[in-house]
Amino acid sequence: MFPIPAMVVSTVAVLSSVRRGGQRAMAFGRSIFAHHGTPRVERIATRDALEEFARLPYQVYAGRAAWWPPDVQNEIDFLTRRTPAAAFLDLAGFCARRGHQMVARVSAVINHRYNAHWNEHLGHLIHFEALEDENEATVAMLKEAMAWLRSRGMKAVRTGFAAFLDYPYAIDNYGRLPSFLLRGNPAYYHCYLKDAGFETEKGQVDYTATLDAPTLERYRGIIEAGLSTGATVKSWRQYGFLAAIDAWTDVTNAAFDRHWGWNPVTRAEVRPMLASLGDTAVADLSMIAEMNGQAVGAVFSVPDWSTMLARIRRGSTIDPERGGGTRGALINIGVTQEARGRGIAVTMAARSFLAMAQQGMRYAGYTLVLDDNWASRRTAESLGARITDNFVTYRCNFP
């Protein structure tokens, strides 16, 4: 039951560009690095360095048949504090070089709103990417970023989850396209992070449901039972898209208030992130649940955007359950405390999955779920979903 991933924000800009006939600069990169020279760590301070920082993943994933590329301009705007979240953050970008070649990158972030919400002194490392066989340079960079956080009063650092900013690290299915915009990191990242002093903090699972005829019929029964309790479920289009954005914000803040890793967001932040999606299938796949006229549940779902947003090598095909136009994704689901135990979550999810099937999708992803969040895991299982990917988040407590 995770909040909307950060890259959904940049999806709006990408879709707008595609509609205008624009094309993202997503050519495959390749490493031109020769293994010589002493590594050094640098702060990101120039426009050229920002561009190089944002494009490093094109080298890391150059050999992949399919992967989710970054939005280069979105990352540059973030690091130059031209985003709504900047008011709540202290941040610094770091890279490791050997000679003139950038071989690793990371951003150190202090999220003051998160720390106030949880009464913590926790920093985050986000944007982590690195080339293979660069242990010395990468670990030195990570430790420099961690020292920056510690010098500013942080007592611990997390990497692999920050609400709206970062994703967990994959621990299986390396080389395969993960669910919508999740990490598909190389296996060697875990060695780098553990060598820098990190240990596993949380595990997460990603689910996939097959939208076959018997399953869809079962969903209709789930919906009928859920609505018999007095709840109503409407798509964001039926509810009114802008009103649904506000309802999603309010419900999510309430539902996730004590959920690990979450921090509150404002309507003013969320509206510009999502408003431009009103004329997409998001409006039909996302749901709002009401009880007695009050919004008590919310789902944010997306169609299969892999053909538009994923980088797919010419001649390659994607497994149908992972994309290629056949896999929708429920990104976020939440129900307020007072409305739980009525089947509202599974009813909203079933309605969303039925809508996906009506739009030609054969599979549906059911959001990242913490390993120990058994309420949400039981919801996934009741929808016939199975675990298809596993992820972890890391933490290091400073001595």
Q: Are both 221 and 109 inside the same structural domain?
A: no
Both structure tokens of 277: 């999606």
Which domain range does residue 323 map to? 207-391
Q: Are both 223 and 356 inside the same structural domain?
A: yes
The answer to whether position 319 is within a domain reads yes
pLDDT at 38: 87
Express each pLDDT in 293-319 by its tens digit. 999 999 999 999 999 999 999 999 899
Report d(CA 353, CA 285) in Å as an integer.
Answer: 8
Residues 6+ apart with CB under 8 A from 197: 143, 146, 396
User: Domain tally for the chain?
Assistant: 2
DSSP state of 166: B
Q: Are both 273 and 138 inside the same structural domain?
A: no
Q: Are both 119 and 222 inside the same structural domain?
A: no
If phi > 0 it is left, if psi is from -120 to 50 it is alpha, else beta; for residue 327 that is beta
The answer to whether position 297 is within a domain reads yes
Residue 31 pLDDT greater than 90, yes or no: no
Report d(CA 316, CA 293) in Å as an integer.
Answer: 49
Q: Are both 140 and 89 inside the same structural domain?
A: yes
Both structure tokens of 153: 């009063």
The answer to whether position 11 is within a domain reads no
Q: Cα–Cα distances in Å, from 60 out to 67, 70, 95, 350?
A: 11, 12, 14, 37
If phi > 0 it is left, if psi is from -120 to 50 it is alpha, else beta; for residue 213 that is alpha
| CA-angle at 142, arms to 161 and 396, nearest 5° | 55
Which of 11-15, 123-127, 134-138, 267-271 comes out lowest in average pLDDT?
Answer: 11-15
Residue 92 pLDDT greater than 80, yes or no: yes
Q: Cα–Cα distances in Å, from 352 out to 76, 187, 246, 321?
A: 34, 33, 19, 17
Q: Are both 151 and 231 inside the same structural domain?
A: no
- Which CATH number does the domain housing residue 95 bear? 3.40.630.30
Give the number of residues written for the chain.
399
The answer to whether position 6 is within a domain reads no
